Amino acid sequence: MGTQLLRNEKVVQEHQLQQLVSSQLREADQIILSYFSELESALLKTPPFARNVNTSKFLTNNADAIRNHILKSPYIENIFILSANGQLLFPNKLNASRKEQEFITQNGSLWSTMDAFHPETPADINSEKQRRTNAEKNDDSSFSVSGALSKLSRGQKSEDLYAEQKSAVANSASLQPPLAEKKRKKVNTGHGWTVWRTGTETHIFFWFWDSNNQLTGLKLANAFWLAELINQLPDDRNAVDFIGDARIQLINEKQTVMYQWGQFEESLIENIQPKGQRLLGHPLDGWRLAYFAPNSNDDSPQWLLYLMFILIISAVLASLGFYMFREYRRDMRTAEQRVTFVNQVSHELKTPLTNICLYAELIEAEVDDNDGVGVKNHENSKIHKYSKVLTTESQRLGRLINNVLSFSQSQKKEQRIEPQEGSIDNTILAAVEMFNPAFEVKNIQIDMDLKASKPAMFDHNALEQIINNLLGNIEKYASHGKYARIESTQTDNTTQIRIQDHGPGIDKKLSKRLFEPFFRGNSKLTEGVSGTGIGLSIAKELCQLHGGDLIVEQNIKKGASFLITINTPQAASQATSQITPQK
Amino acid sequence: MKPLNQKQQHTHKLSFRKTTLLLGACLLASLVSISANAKQTTKQIRLSSDLATPVLSAGKSQNAYIRVALNGFELNNDEIRTPLNVAIVLDQSSSMAGQKIKQAKQAAKMAVNQLDEGDIVSIITYDSTVNVLVSATNASNKNALFNAINRIKARGNTALFAGTSKGGYEVRNFLSEKRVNRVVLLSDGMANVGPSSPYQLGQLGQALAKDGISVSTIGLGLGYNEDLMTQLANYSDGSHSFVENAADLARIFEQEFGQAKSVVAQDIDIKIILKDGITPIRIVGRDGDIIGNTIVTRINQIYSKQESYVVIEVNIPASQAGTSKNIANVEVNYNNMVANKRFELEDSITASFSESKEEVKEAVNTKVYVSAVKQLANEQRKEAVILRDQGKKDEAKAKLKQSSILLGRSAEYISSDKLRQESLDVQAEADAVAAPSAAEWNKNRKALRAKSYQIEKQQIDKKQRK
Facing residues of A257 across strands? A251
Asked whether the beta carbons of residue B162 and residue A72 sit closer than 8 angstroms, the reply is: no
A224 close to B (CB below 8 A): yes
Mean pLDDT, residues B162-181 taken together = 96
Kindly calculate the radius of gyration of chain A based on its CA atoms and give it in whole angstroms: 52
A38 is a domain residue: no
Pairwise pLDDT comparison (B308 vs A175), residue with the higher score: B308
Contacts of B32 (CB under 8 A, 6+ apart): B80
A583 close to B (CB below 8 A): no
What pLDDT score was predicted for residue A181?
Answer: 38
What pLDDT score was predicted for residue A251?
Answer: 94
Residue B4: what are its φ and ψ, rounded to 5°? -70, -35
Q: Which of A197-206, A243-252, A331-340 has the highest mean pLDDT?
A: A243-252
DSSP string, B77-99: TTSPPPPEEEEEEEE-SGGGTTH
Q: In what side-by-side order are the strands of the sheet with A257-261?
A: A257-261, A247-251, A288-292, A276-279
| B280 preceded by a cis bond (ω within 30 of 0) | no
Beta strands in B152-249 (DSSP E): 180-187, 214-220, 240-243
Are A359 and A217 members of one domain?
no
Residue type, A312: I
Look at residue B72 and tell me whether its pLDDT is greater than 70: yes
Q: What angle is formed at CA B59 by the lines to CA B53 and CA B62, rounded to 5 degrees?
A: 45
For A451-454, the CB contacts below 8 A with 24+ separation are A451/A425, A451/A487, A451/A488, A451/A489, A451/A490, A452/A423, A452/A424, A452/A425, A452/A428, A452/A488, A452/A489, A452/A490, A452/A495, A452/A497, A452/A568, A453/A423, A453/A424, A453/A425, A453/A426, A453/A490, A454/A423, A454/A490, A454/A570, A454/A571
What pLDDT score was predicted for residue A343?
Answer: 66
Facing residues of A151 across strands? none
Mean pLDDT, residues A411-422 taken together = 77
Beta strands in B129-248 (DSSP E): 130-138, 180-187, 214-220, 240-243
Look at residue A139 and tell me whether its pLDDT is greater than 60: no
Helix (H) or strand (E) segment spanning residue A98: helix A98-112
Q: Taking the mean position of all CA atoms in its chain, how far away is CA B444? A: 21
Task: Kindly indicate the confidence band of residue A236, based on its pLDDT and cuts at 50, 70 and 90.
Answer: very high
B303 and B259 in contact (C-beta within 8 Å)? yes
A244 is a domain residue: no
CB-CB neighbors (< 8 A) of A66 in chain B: none
CB-CB neighbors (< 8 A) of A221 in chain B: 203, 206-207
Task: Kindly indicate the confidence band of residue A58, based on its pLDDT and cuts at 50, 70 and 90.
Answer: low
Mean pLDDT, residues A136-156 taken together = 30
Helix (H) or strand (E) segment spanning residue A205: strand A201-209
CB-CB neighbors (< 8 A) of B206 in chain A: 74, 221, 223
A31 is a domain residue: no
SS3 state at A17: helix
A248 and A24 in contact (C-beta within 8 Å)? yes
CB-CB neighbors (< 8 A) of A77 in chain B: 203
B403 and B426 in contact (C-beta within 8 Å)? yes
A95 is a domain residue: yes
What pLDDT score was predicted for residue A469?
Answer: 87
pLDDT digits (tens, 9 = 90+) for B394-437: 999 999 999 999 999 999 999 999 999 999 999 999 999 998 88
Among A392, A415, A438, the domain boundary falls at A415
List Cα–Cα distances, A73 to A129, A195, A555, B336, in angstroms: 33, 20, 97, 22
A98 close to B (CB below 8 A): yes
CA distance A510 to A521: 6
How many Cβ atoms are within 10 Å of B462's Cβ, its own excluded?
12
Are A535 and A490 members of one domain?
yes
> What percent of chain B has a predicted confidence (pLDDT) above 90?
85
Are A84 and A194 members of one domain?
yes
What pLDDT score was predicted for residue A532?
Answer: 66
Pairing of strands B55-57, B341-354: parallel
User: Judging by beta carbons within 10 Å of its beta carbon (0-12, 13-18, 19+), is residue B314 exposed, middle or buried?
Assistant: buried
A255 is a domain residue: no
Total domains, chain A: 3
DSSP string, B319-386: --TT-EEEEEEEEEEEEETTTTEEEEEEEEEEEEEES-HHHHHHH--HHHHHHHHHHHHHHHHHHHHH
Closest CA to A431 of A497, A374, A370: A497
A133 is a domain residue: yes
B353 and B324 in contact (C-beta within 8 Å)? yes
Task: Kindly indicate the confidence band of residue A128, based on its pLDDT and cuts at 50, 70 and 90.
Answer: very low
Q: Which of B23-32, B67-76, B131-140, B229-238 has the lowest mean pLDDT?
A: B23-32
B302 and B332 in contact (C-beta within 8 Å)? no
What pLDDT score was predicted for residue B175?
Answer: 95
Asked whether the beta carbons of residue B129 and residue A260 sit closer than 8 angstroms, the reply is: yes
What pLDDT score was predicted for residue A134?
Answer: 37
What pLDDT score was predicted for residue A334?
Answer: 79
Look at residue A373 and tell me whether its pLDDT is greater than 60: no
> What percent of chain B has a predicted confidence (pLDDT) above 70?
90
Task: Kindly indicate the confidence band of residue A184, based on its pLDDT and cuts at 50, 70 and 90.
Answer: very low
A68 close to B (CB below 8 A): no
Among A193, A228, A263, the domain boundary falls at A228
Are A535 and A445 members of one domain?
yes
What pLDDT score was predicted for residue A146?
Answer: 26
Are A454 and A541 members of one domain?
yes
CA nearest to A266 within chain B: B128
pLDDT digits (tens, 9 = 90+) for A301-328: 566 777 888 899 999 999 999 998 888 8
CB-CB neighbors (< 8 A) of B208 in chain A: 74
pLDDT digits (tens, 9 = 90+) for B83-140: 999 999 999 999 999 999 999 999 999 999 999 999 999 999 999 999 999 999 999 9
CA distance B60 to B55: 13
Are A442 and A334 members of one domain?
no
What pLDDT score was predicted for residue B223?
Answer: 92
Q: What is the dihedral of CA A535, A537, A541, A542, to 10 degrees?
A: 10
CA nearest to A232 within chain B: B1
Helix%, strand%, coil% for chain A, nearest 5? 55, 15, 30
CA distance B186 to B91: 6
CB-CB neighbors (< 8 A) of B288 in chain A: none
For B21-25, the CB contacts below 8 A with 24+ separation are B22/B118, B22/B138, B25/B118
Host domain of residue A126: 54-228
Asked whether the beta carbons of residue B4 and residue A73 sit closer than 8 angstroms, the reply is: yes
Average pLDDT score over chain B: 89
Asked whether the beta carbons of residue A262 and residue B129 sit closer than 8 angstroms, the reply is: yes
Are A182 and A319 members of one domain?
no
Average pLDDT score over chain A: 76
Shortest alpha-carbon distance between residue A99 and chain B (Å)? 7
What pLDDT score was predicted for residue B464?
Answer: 45
Task: Kindly indicate the confidence band of residue A59, based on its pLDDT and cuts at 50, 70 and 90.
Answer: low
Task: Kindly indicate the confidence band of residue B49, based on its pLDDT and cuts at 50, 70 and 90.
Answer: very high
Mean pLDDT, residues A430-440 taken together = 83
What pLDDT score was predicted for residue A578?
Answer: 43
Are A215 and A330 members of one domain?
no
Counting Cα atoms < 13 Å in the Cβ hemisphere of A473 gives: 31
Helix (H) or strand (E) segment spanning residue A70: helix A55-72
A297 is a domain residue: no
CA distance B284 to B302: 19
Closest CA to B206 of A25, A90, A378, A78: A78
Residue type, A470: L
List Cα–Cα distances, A46 to A63, A75, A76, A526, B113, in angstroms: 14, 11, 10, 106, 42
List Cα–Cα distances, A492 to A417, A455, A457, A573, in angstroms: 20, 10, 11, 14
Mean pLDDT, residues B64-85 taken together = 91
A374 is a domain residue: yes
What pLDDT score was predicted for residue A398?
Answer: 80
Are A410 and A521 members of one domain?
no
A111 and A216 in contact (C-beta within 8 Å)? no
What pLDDT score was predicted for residue B96?
Answer: 94
3-state secondary structure A255-287: CCEEEEECCCCHHHCCCCCCCEEEECCCCCCCC
Pairwise pLDDT comparison (A154 vs B456), residue with the higher score: B456
Running DSSP on this structure, what letter comes out for residue A454? Answer: S
What pLDDT score was predicted for residue A163?
Answer: 35
pLDDT digits (tens, 9 = 90+) for B206-227: 999 999 999 999 999 999 999 9
Look at residue A527 and tell me whether its pLDDT is greater than 70: no
CA distance B398 to B434: 10
Among A197, A228, A259, the domain boundary falls at A228
Look at residue B308 and tell me whether its pLDDT is greater than 50: yes
Q: What is the dihedral of CA A392, A393, A399, A400, to 10 degrees?
A: 170
What pLDDT score was predicted for residue A92?
Answer: 83
CA nearest to B196 within chain A: A258
Are A310 and A403 members of one domain?
yes
CB-CB neighbors (< 8 A) of A239 in chain B: 129
Q: Which of A43, A99, A256 is nearest residue B289 as measured by Cβ atoms? A: A99
Asked whether the beta carbons of residue B3 and residue A45 sit closer than 8 angstroms, the reply is: yes
pLDDT digits (tens, 9 = 90+) for B366-385: 999 999 999 999 999 999 99
What pLDDT score was predicted for residue A28?
Answer: 94
Contacts of A16 (CB under 8 A, 6+ apart): none
Asked whether the beta carbons of residue A231 and residue B166 sit closer than 8 angstroms, the reply is: yes
Are A108 and A133 members of one domain?
yes
Contacts of B261 (CB under 8 A, 6+ apart): B81, B82, B84, B114, B180
Look at residue B26 and tell me whether its pLDDT is greater than 50: no
* A-to-B residue pairs, Cβ atoms closer than 8 angstroms: 115
CA distance A31 to B239: 35
Task: Kindly indicate the confidence band of residue A573, based on its pLDDT and cuts at 50, 70 and 90.
Answer: low
Look at residue B362 and tell me whether its pLDDT is greater than 90: yes
User: Judging by beta carbons within 10 Å of its beta carbon (0-12, 13-18, 19+), is residue A431 exposed, middle or buried?
Assistant: buried
Are A322 and A442 members of one domain?
no
Q: CATH number of the domain that A557 lies in?
A: 3.30.565.10
Pairwise pLDDT comparison (A16 vs B78), residue with the higher score: A16
Residue type, B108: A
Pairwise pLDDT comparison (A410 vs B267), residue with the higher score: B267
Shortest alpha-carbon distance between residue B78 and chain A (Å)? 34
Pairwise pLDDT comparison (B297 vs A245), residue with the higher score: B297
